Structure 1
Amino acid sequence: MTAGALRVEPLIGLEWSQAIEQWGGEDATTPSGTRRSWLHRAPEQQVMALYQTIRRSDPHAPAPWWLRALAAGNLETRAEGFAVEDRVAKLLSARPGWVFVPWSVDGDSGYWEYVPSERKLAEPGVPTTLMLTDRHPGWIDVIRVHARVTPDPVAVKGLADLRSNLAHLESLAPA
């Protein structure tokens, strides 16, 4: 190599941040509207290979819930994760008061807020929030309306459980 030559080596962290970058989804009203990054479109095997590589150097690298579940062997395909997101979106979009928030942390799939729950608070706070998770096989967590300290999530046992208990979850008292 000559004295003036520049040697550039790929940085896995930079590559991963570009892979999860969600450009143009700020106005999305459902999770499907945010699926614009490389990890949503690239061949699944390539996505998994890059994710496994980044996890070796950063075990807590940001990633959507479905990719963490896929890597753990709890989902068979990325499409299964998208289907869960789409079914939740269909249910909540048809129900008054629920709003999809497309931005969250890097690599995340957004979350849902039940805006009317804020009326239960005497001070500014956070409305009842529904997010998808790889924490348990029901894939859905609800965090009740709260101010200050965030309460532990309530694990929902899947879409059927969400559908049958949605009114109860919407009526949870502040933490």
Structure 2
Amino acid sequence: MIPQARTENTQPRLEPMLDLEWSQAIELPRTVASATRPSDIRRAWVHRAPEDLVVALYRASSGMHGEIPAPWWLRAVVEGRLESRELGFRIEDRIAGLLGRRPGWEFVPWAADGESGYWEFMPSERGASGHSIPTTVLNTSRHDGWIDVLPAHSSTTPSPIAVAGFAGLRSRLGEFEAVR
């Protein structure tokens, strides 16, 4: 005998489909490990699809669960603090242009799900100071300078240093690179 279907809750549950759709939207290609700058990993749906569709899916997905994995620039665009995805890309590219030419800086493409990668200053790791985690530069939607620096450290992650945009990063690089 075949059991009867339950009829107590006839409303379909859509959350798992939105979760799956968002997960696929931020999924990066397998070739991400060889990326040397943020533009090398901009191949996910969130990077290529029309911006209004990306924002709509983000809002629908985050409306069900609160904070979800997403690029820093998307959170800032949705909050109305960054004009566009393209502007976020330009910020990332300017940082790449600056740090990519300086000795000791390496781009790390395998950041948290949905994120754009970050930069590490390798001489600050296991140098004279003995730190096990290098100075790190990453983009953020936490403030309108869009750049945070995590100083080199060995145990508890220090509070990020909010940097006043690209000009602030450029002017403070000597300070950040001094830890070795």
Same fold? TM cut 0.5: yes
Runs of 4 or more off by more than 6 Å in structure 1?
7-10
Q: Does residue 42 of the first structure (1) align with residue 41 of the second (2)?
A: no
**What is the CA distance between 1:26 and its match in structure 2?**
1.7
Cα offsets for 1:128-166 (capped at 9, x unmatched) = 000000001110000010011100001100111111110
1:64/1:120 CA distance change after superposition, 3 Å: farther
Match in the other structure for 1:22: 28
Q: Which amino acid aligns with 2:24?
A: Q
**What amino acid maps onto 1:100 in structure 2?**
F
Q: Please show how residues 162-173 of structure 1 align to structure 2 within 5 Å.
A: 162-172=169-179
Q: Secondary structure at the match of 1:126?
A: coil
The answer for the alignment partner of 1:157 in structure 2 is 164
Give, as a single letter, the amino acid of the residue that structure 2 aligns with 1:61: I
Measured after TM superposition, the shift of residue 172 of structure 1 is 3.9
SS in 1 for 2:83: coil
**Higher Cα Rg, which structure:** 2
- Whether 2:128 is the aligned partner of 1:120: answer yes
The unaligned stretches of length 5 or more in structure 1 are none
> Are the aligned partners of 2:129 and 2:179 in contact in 1 as well (CA < 8 Å)?
no
- Cα deviation, residue 120, structure 1: 3.4
Matched, 1:147 2:154: yes
TM-score where L is the length of structure 1: 0.90
Measure how far apart 1:121 and its partner are: 3.8
Query: TM-score w.r.t. structure 2 length?
Result: 0.88
The count of aligned residue pairs is 167
**Structure 2 gap ranges (5+):** 5-11
Question: Does the CA contact (< 8 Å) of 2:136 and 2:150 recur in 1?
Answer: yes
Question: Matched residues in 2 for 1:156 and 1:8: separation?
Answer: 43
Q: Residue 25 of structure 1 contacts residue 36 of structure 1 at CA under 8 Å; is this kept in 2?
A: no
Letter of the 2:123 counterpart: P
Deviations 1:51-75 (A, max 9, x none): 0001111211000100000000011
How far apart are the structure 1 equivalents of 2:76 and 2:25?
18
Q: CA RMSD in A?
A: 1.7
**Contact 1:64/1:108 (8 A) holds in 2:** yes
